[in-house]
Structure 1
């Protein structure tokens, strides 16, 4: 039988593969800027393969790609009529892939996210946000997801609204916050305060995702872990954010010699600023060691990066058979059948 999210959390860390937004843009199936997941309707096989790649790399969950698939984003691109079909198809494709897991059927999570219209001083905006979350959570329930992931909230109150609408559907909730450069949420809460409240209000997992790389997220994850009795999640971006530039929105690239459209590396010129997979694995081990239970990566992550994170957390993935092994490499290997005349040039190559 397929174990629930809570049962898996009790058994050890759960690996959560995210990052579809940047990955599908990189593969050529999504527009940077609007960042709307039309791929669920336009190129469903491409989306299924992306789901599959992350699941095979170690993700215990196939997260339905409905990030930004809410009424406000669909209004901006003039396609509100596609809102419900997009949401439902993204979930149905996720369920198809989850059944392919050879050991235990993967979990399927619905997804709701920051709306970018929430205004704590505007009651009308709050009602619009609640209505958006309500309809998306309702579709998740009807399509039979295992839980709903509410993510990237930079207002505490918006996260609370998301949690309330998820719980109205009787589904478990994972709620993660996006912390911008102010180092507090936009309505003044610290992330540890917000997570404590969200956990007490019934979220199964609370924590952080996106915006920050491991170096600038980990200190806040440690604070959350100290303040929350329940399960804690951490899903950083795989970029080298710093104390001076804690998020990827204004991350500089001193070596860039060309004109950038936004005069910033975000979102389409971040390539030189990646952490390598070994640095990400080091973070994953540190996260597990301090008691982070729900571990993954967010925007920018590749399946190979996620596999390294999963293995560092003690998980053997479906595709671990493809993990690096230099034993038979013609320059760097140590296999006795390799040719000596190649090996002696390894330092000169």
Structure 2
């Protein structure tokens, strides 16, 4: 099989820059709370092109499609479970259009978020139903021209494995990140070391794996250091939030400055991360600062946890979750920002 676009880029470069937030940028364009962003692929394609183009212009080598909630379970909340293929296909095809016009190699990553459902025995979701949902979404993204599936913000290992199986059924290469937001663990209790163990045992391995979203860039970097300590051999992904959300004048504002995100990007690169981007709150100005820092600042030593705290701020919990017992699993239904 011919080498996929992302593997080709990884083979030619030390680091790649991914994109920033989808939700935060779309809310700035007028998306309202409760409105499914995926509808905009059809209703406001120019705004979605603009979202993708802004990442490319800021220097991103990879951008994610506006399809995070594009599975049947999420779309059913809006009576749109019959539109999965259409919304994903169009979300990816708009991306293909922008990437092909970029004048350089840019990877279109088909965003696949969680179903929002809980697996048996705690919930009702079966493995077969999850695979079917993810497979339907994957086929839509493939039809639209996505280069790779980008499974993200996953909390449950069962869901991660189901999405990987769907990627295999669709014949698509994939990457996958989990969100570590509860004292260094995912909401379903996975640690950084646990994720490395899971990924190493997968029959259909990802091209790259890592962490996204979570609490803030310092916590995310501590999780990344956990991957490194656990002996991760597959390329790592870091997509941290731009600081911590604060309510300000009726809006959620992330307090991370472009300068802070530039520090985070350099620390991630020095830790050995190969794909570096931002999540909630990360705007084009953050991406530009990250890209400039990655291009201009020489590679340094692998950072210590003290360096991370000094540059990015204190960790939100004393433990990274890998030692002793962690918090009890709880349900997560949030969207990626």
User: Normalising TM by the smaller chain, what interval?
Assistant: 0.7 to 0.9
Counterpart of 1:184 in 2: which secondary structure? coil
| Structure 2 Cα separation of the partners of residues 73 and 3 of structure 1 | 29
Equivalents in 2 of 1:25, 1:144: separation in Å? 26
Show the 5 A alignment for 1:194-213. Answer: 194-201=195-202, 202-213=205-216
Q: 2:239 aligns with which of 222, 235, 240?
A: 235
Q: TM-score normalized by structure 2?
A: 0.80
Q: 1:141 to 1:84 in 2, by over 3 A?
A: closer
Tell me how far 1:127 sits from its aligned partner: 3.0
- Give the aligned partner of residue 21 of structure 1: 23
**Structure 1 Cα separation of the partners of residues 257 and 135 of structure 2:** 39
Q: CA deviation digits over 1:195-252, x for unaligned, max 9?
A: 3322442111110011321112111111112221110000011023xxxxxxx5xxx6
Give 1:23 shift: 0.6
The reply on whether 1:214 has 2:196 as its aligned counterpart is no
Tell me the SS of whatever aligns to 2:260: helix
Task: Tell me, yes or no, if structure 1 residue 310 matches structure 2 residue 291.
Answer: yes
Tell me whether 1:270 sits opposite 2:271 in the alignment. Answer: no
1:117 CA displacement:
0.3
Counterpart residue number, 2:67: 66
Distance 1:203 1:187 in 2: 21
1:68 Cα deviation from its structure 2 partner:
0.6
CA distance in 1, matches of 2:218, 2:80: 38
Task: Indicate if the aligned counterparts of 1:205 and 1:230 stay in contact, CA closer than 8 A.
Answer: yes
1:9: which partner in 2?
10
Quick check: 1:110–1:140 contact (8 Å CA) kept in 2?
A: yes
Distance 1:124-1:81 versus aligned 2 partners, 3 A rule: closer
Structure 1 gap segments, 5+ residues each: 241-247, 261-268, 317-349
**DSSP-derived class of the 2:286 partner:** helix
Asked if residue 286 in structure 1 is aligned to residue 287 in structure 2, the reply is no
Number of equivalent positions: 291
Distance 1:280 1:18 in 2: 11
Q: Tell me which structure has the larger Cα radius of gyration.
A: 1
Which stretch has the larger CA shift, 202-211 or 125-134? 125-134
Instruction: Show structure 2 runs of 5+ residues with no match.
Output: 298-337
The residue that corresponds to 1:320 in the other structure is none
2:93 alignment counterpart: 92
Aligned equivalents of 1:87 and 1:117: distance in 2?
Answer: 20
Alpha-carbon distance in structure 1 between the residues aligned to 2:37 and 2:235: 30
* 1:216 to 1:288, Cα distance in 2 relative to 1, 3 A: same
Q: Deviations over 1:163-221 (max 9, x none)?
A: 12112223221100012224323443213311332244211111001132111211111
Pairwise CA distance, 1:27: 1.2
CA contact (8 A) 2:41 2:87 kept: yes
Matched, 1:114 2:114: yes
Contact 1:207 1:221 in 2 (8 A): yes
TM-score (norm: length of structure 1): 0.77
1:92-142 alpha-carbon deviations (Å, 9 max, x no partner): 10000001112x131111121111103241464433322110111122233
Secondary structure at the residue paired with 1:108? Answer: strand
Judge conservation of contact 1:66–1:111 (CA < 8 Å) in 2. yes
Q: 1:41 to 1:203 in 2, by over 3 A?
A: same
Query: Is the Cα–Cα contact under 8 Å of residues 52 and 98 in structure 2 kept in the other structure?
Result: yes
- Counterpart-to-counterpart distance in 2, 1:298 and 1:13: 17
How far apart in 2 are the matches of 1:34 and 1:128? 25
Q: Residue 236 of structure 2: SS of its match in structure 1?
A: strand
Tell me the equivalent position of 1:334. none
**2:296 and 2:112 mapped to 1: Cα distance?**
27
